[in-house]
Amino acid sequence: MSETPGIPAPPEEPSEEQASRIGVDSWVAETERHGRGRGPLWQLARLWEYSPDPVKLLAFVALASTVPFWTNEGDLFVFGLFTLLYAALGLGLNVVVGFAGLLDLGYVAFFGIGAYTYAELSSSQYGIHWPAEATIPIAMAAAALVGVVLGFSARRLLGDYLAIVTLFLGQAFVFFTGVANPTVAGKGLTGGANGIPQLDPLTFFGYQLTSTKQLYFFLLIVVTLLATALYFANQSRTGRAWRALREDPLAAEVMSIPVNRLKILAFVFGAAVAGLCGTIYAAIETAAVSTNFSVSVLIIIYAVVILGGFGSIAGVFVGAIVINCTLEFLEPQNDHPEVKRWLFYGTIVLLIALLKPWFRPVLVLAGTIAFGFVVHAIVAATTAASWTSGVPVSGASWLARWAVIPTGSHGNFNNYLYIGLVVAVVCTASLKGWWRMIALVPTLYLTALVWENMLTQNGGITAFILFGAMLIGLMTVRPQGLLGTARVEIV
């Protein structure tokens, strides 16, 4: 630190990784990445990377179509059906955000428009029972029409303002359907907070899709068609123009690319896909309820696309599987309560294992285990028995010897634990080198305590805490997502 007042200390020399990589474009970043890494895992990753996209899709479809034969009905519903639904939604959003680079925060509104259109046209609400081959195109057209209107009105707006207009559209939609509920033909148009119940099942030319298996295969076909269409769209002139638009709208315009038309096209494409998903979702749930189209759903769809990587079709599938399984395992009522514990600790150990060099993760994990026993022994020796007499929810009772789990109520103990964890994470992230490793030990132990004492009981909330943290972390560490292409700004 410089002692002279008024003159700030010279900035630290940036390390190799942190130094800004000016002048390195995405192609260079890609080839650089290819040069690194060894080992069987790397070979597998290379094999995946070099296999053409249609092969990847075929592999996925082949694998996915076996799922109904080795899972039960309930699991197929929550894991299979919803993963496919999120994948379809993610594919649509990927066009808007990933290909064209428009931040569309009203995507769920289009999803909701699809669902409500289906609900109006195929239920006892107004006694209209049209078949799905009529309602699905109408719903898609309705969503696309709103998309066109919004797209036209927002076409002059620069990036951020589009995000605002669409976000407010989403909010206005939820309020309109859930609260305002105007009276049309003697009935509330949207059924208010209760929504529209008892929708017809999907019926195509007299053939009803009622069982989970039928719906699953129908969705699989839809997702496959969508992914194929997107693959070809991405390869086409339009796809290239979208990418150009995403990288630099101004330069694209100078290159005589019709920027506005392409923006609206991407927007409408996303809206129509969301509308399609909405009809299927409404038919699966047999109801359209406004709370299902709130921002929480938006964040889930965004998490799907971002985890997989902007603009990557394969990434959407990976994101959908990871996000939906996380959500479902964290649900308090799911049938596999012990799985979520292993997933949670497994993910943490995996993340720690990414630390380099190799002995750091070993030391940190060993330190955490030892630290836990020491803390447990101290707490057991100095406080009343009720502080350590608790057992973890759903099995793994041996954990109670390592983690401090009180029984009964201990004031705000849990809340202090949670706030302590957040502070510990912030401190750990601001430390450097070995200090960070040392700080990791109590942080990890606190994480385990918070998980055992609070999070396992509050699955739904935990999911959103994790998603929020994931979005921040991913943007900081790997903004391109798991399978996205690295992009480096050219100055």
Could you list the residues that contact another protein (CB under 8 A)?
8, 20, 97, 101, 103, 153-154, 156-161, 163-165, 167-169, 171-172, 175-176, 179-182, 250, 295-296, 299, 302, 306, 415, 418-419, 422, 426, 429-430, 454-455, 458, 461-462, 464-465, 467-472, 475-476, 479, 487, 489
Strands 122-123 and 128-129: antiparallel
394 conformational bin, left if phi > 0, alpha if psi -120 to 50, beta if neither:
left
Strands 202-204 and 196-197: unpaired
Using alpha carbons, list the distances in angstroms from residue 48 to 276, 352, 420: 30, 25, 41
**Considering the complex, what minimum distance in angstroms separates the CB of residue 86 from another protein?**
17
**Considering the complex, what minimum distance in angstroms separates the CB of residue 414 from another protein?**
8
Residue (125 or 462) nearer to another protein, CB? 462
Residue (217 or 413) nearer to another protein, CB? 413
Residue (6 or 127) nearer to another protein, CB? 6
Residue (106 or 278) nearer to another protein, CB? 106
How far is residue 258's CA from residue 204's CA, in Å, rounded to a whole number?
A: 39
Using alpha carbons, list the distances in angstroms from residue 129 to 113, 118, 134, 135: 18, 10, 10, 9
Residue (4 or 382) nearer to another protein, CB? 4
**Considering the complex, what minimum distance in angstroms separates the CB of residue 461 from another protein?**
5
How far is residue 35's CA from residue 485's CA, in Å, rounded to a whole number?
A: 15
Give the pair of three-digit tokens for residue 156: 């002059």
Residue (219 or 262) nearer to another protein, CB? 262
Nearest Cα to Cα of residue 66 among 76, 55, 56:
76
**Considering the complex, what minimum distance in angstroms separates the CB of residue 334 from another protein?**
19
**Considering the complex, what minimum distance in angstroms separates the CB of residue 66 from another protein?**
35
The answer to whether the beta carbons of residues 341 and 99 sit under 8 Å apart is: no
Give the pair of three-digit tokens for residue 354: 């990414």
Residue (94 or 462) nearer to another protein, CB? 462
**Considering the complex, what minimum distance in angstroms separates the CB of residue 268 from another protein?**
18
**Sole residue written with tokens 């479902």:** 328
**Considering the complex, what minimum distance in angstroms separates the CB of residue 203 from another protein?**
34
How far is residue 224's CA from residue 61's CA, in Å, rounded to a whole number?
A: 7
In one-letter notation, the amino acid at residue 347 is T
